Amino acid sequence: MSRLDESRPFVPVGIAILTVSDTRSLADDRSGQTLADRVGDAGHRLVAREIVTDDVDAIREIVGRWARDEAIDVIITTGGTGFTGRDVTPEALEPLFEKRMDGFSEVFHRISYDKIGTSTIQSRATGGVVNATFVFALPGSPGACRDGWDEILKPQLDYRHMPCNFVEIMPRLDEHLKRGAAKSA
Strands laid side by side in the 45-52 sheet: 45-52, 14-20, 74-78, 133-138, 126-130, 99-100
Looking at residue 170, what is its pLDDT? 95
Residue 184 pLDDT greater than 80, yes or no: no
Looking at residue 185, what is its pLDDT? 47
Looking at residue 174, what is its pLDDT? 86
CA distance 25 to 120: 26
Enclosing H/E stretch for 143: helix 142-148
End-to-end CA distance of the chain: 44
Q: Which domains does the chain have, with CATH numbers?
A: 11-184 (3.40.980.10)
What mean pLDDT is predicted for residues 1-14? 93
Looking at residue 1, what is its pLDDT? 76
| CB of 1 closer than 8 Å to CB of 20 | no
Cα 66 off chain centre by: 12
Looking at residue 178, what is its pLDDT? 62
Residue 182 pLDDT greater than 50, yes or no: no
Give the 3-state DSSP-derived string for 40-103, with helices as H, strands as E and coil as C: HHHCCEEEEEEEECCCHHHHHHHHHHHHCCCCCCEEEEECCCCCCCCCCHHHHHHHHCCEECHH
pLDDT tens-digit profile of 136-167?
A: 999 999 999 999 999 999 999 999 999 999 99
